[in-house]
Amino acid sequence: MPSVFIKTFGCQANKSDSERILGDYSSRGYTETEIWREADEIVLNTCSVRQSAEDRVRGFILNLNKYLQETGKNKPKVILTGCMLHFNEKEIHELLPEVDEILPIAEVGFNQKSIRKDKDSAWVPISTGCNSFCTYCIVPFSRGRERSRPIDDIVKEVESLALDGYKNINLLGQNVNSFGLEKSGINLRKLYMDKDNFSAGTIPSNESQYTKPTTKPPFVLLLQTISKIPGIEKITFFTSNPWDFWNELIDEIAINPKIDRFIHLPVQSGSNHILKLMNRGYTRESYLSLVKRIKEKVPDAVFGTDIIVGFPGETDDDFLDTLDLVKKVGFKVAFVARYSPRPGTASFKLYPDDITAKVKKERWEILDKITNKDNLSNRPLIP
């Protein structure tokens, strides 16, 4: 039997994709090996969020070459997938001549049966790609535009997981809460977030993929449907964008005990100046107002977030604004990253990477300590 070794870099979306890639290999008669030296085929499921993530792929290939030179063994077939596919085929072959084949994840498809190692909790992709074009982010280029999976397919997969004994479901998408709304125009929705009447009633009915007319966001309908499936006890979702966190979603979390109280809500910066440069489409005030609205209706909600420090032009005052917002929200967990310019993104083209590595490190250390070591979530939201 031929064997495959799958190396996954990066985020949970890649891990979930690797489960489907393994399912695909298994359906073609391959066994999985955890020892890359023994594999007939090696799949590198790559990440491009920072240069260091791409460097790790290069490091893996260097190790492989060294091993082949020392042993004289035949090179296994190397297949590249994931976010490094934002490079075109020619660029990939120049960067990594050892790559034999490129595998766009769309070819594996949402409905490919996954092989999951975790037996308690299942990751279920509901959408992929992104239409938001935050200036620092490679996702709209690496994964392409947002595409939602048909709701019936998701429900069938969760029913089958429940029959297999899974109780915890993690719904996954780059913009998980904009599920089914890819036609509605992100800028339109960002515009609504700064208004107080931030509800799905504001979505023109012909712009929603699944509801006619739109009375509830499709994501809320999906949560309601899945939570009724016998055996499912807890539903978590990653990652929510602030501009798709409708009032109807807050109401649903408030009344639905199966929905996890942990809400991952990336803020990226607490400075309006930096948020604008990032094209995040909200202000610190509208973000804090959203957190406050959630807390009012879901008092036991706890928040996680993503923050980038050292974005081009970030002054000490901008950073202090971020610190201030972080203290006000009291995040339970924060993934703090140092800005790394990614070729192909708007920020790479438009803004010089003008914050020194030393300052980025200092800001990273301060934020990481405050968010992840001082446990701010025990403190109440400061309005």
Query: Binding residues for ligand SF4, per CB under 6 A?
Result: 130, 132-134, 137, 139-140, 174-175, 241
Nearer CB in complex with ligand SF4: 6/83: 83
Which helix H or strand E contains 7, and what residues bound it?
strand 3-8
Q: In this structure, what are the phi and psi dihedrals at residue 299, rounded to the nearest 5 degrees? A: -60, -25
Nearer CB in complex with ligand SF4: 49/169: 49
Name 259's bridge partners. Answer: 235
* Integer Cα distance of 235 and 327 in angstroms: 28
Compute the least distance from the CB of residue 137 to ligand SF4, in Å: 3
Q: Is the peptide bond before 104 cis (omega within 30 degrees of 0)?
A: no
End-to-end CA distance of the chain: 61
Compute the least distance from the CB of residue 44 to ligand SF4, in Å: 21
Nearer CB in complex with ligand SF4: 116/189: 189
302-309 sheet: strands from edge to edge: 262-264, 302-309, 333-338
Nearer CB in complex with ligand SF4: 130/325: 130
Nearer CB in complex with ligand SF4: 133/351: 133
Q: What is the 3-state secondary structure (H, E, C) of 276-335?
A: HHCCCCCCHHHHHHHHHHHHHHCCCCEEEEEEEECCCCCCHHHHHHHHHHHHHHCCCEEE
Contact call for residues 347 and 306 (beta carbons, < 8 A): no
Nearer CB in complex with ligand SF4: 114/174: 174
Name 43's bridge partners. Answer: 6, 79
Compute the least distance from the CB of residue 37 to ligand SF4, in Å: 35
* Integer Cα distance of 156 and 350 in angstroms: 45
* Integer Cα distance of 327 and 321 in angstroms: 10
Compute the least distance from the CB of residue 327 to ligand SF4, in Å: 23
* Integer Cα distance of 173 and 244 in angstroms: 13
Nearer CB in complex with ligand SF4: 14/241: 241
Nearer CB in complex with ligand SF4: 241/286: 241
Q: Nearest 10 degrees: CA dihedral of 141, 147, 148, 153?
A: -110
Compute the least distance from the CB of residue 322 to ligand SF4, in Å: 16
* Integer Cα distance of 198 and 244 in angstroms: 9
DSSP strand pairing (41-46 vs 3-8) = parallel
* Integer Cα distance of 85 and 96 in angstroms: 12
Nearer CB in complex with ligand SF4: 133/262: 133
Compute the least distance from the CB of residue 311 to ligand SF4, in Å: 12
Residues present in the chain in total: 383
Which residues have CB under 8 Å from 262's CB, separation 6+? 236, 301, 302, 303, 304, 332
Compute the least distance from the CB of residue 202 to ligand SF4, in Å: 20
Nearer CB in complex with ligand SF4: 138/235: 138
- Best CA proximity match to 187, nearest among 236, 119, 122, 134: 134
Compute the least distance from the CB of residue 180 to ligand SF4, in Å: 16
* Integer Cα distance of 374 and 62 in angstroms: 40
Compute the least distance from the CB of residue 207 to ligand SF4, in Å: 18
Compute the least distance from the CB of residue 189 to ligand SF4, in Å: 11
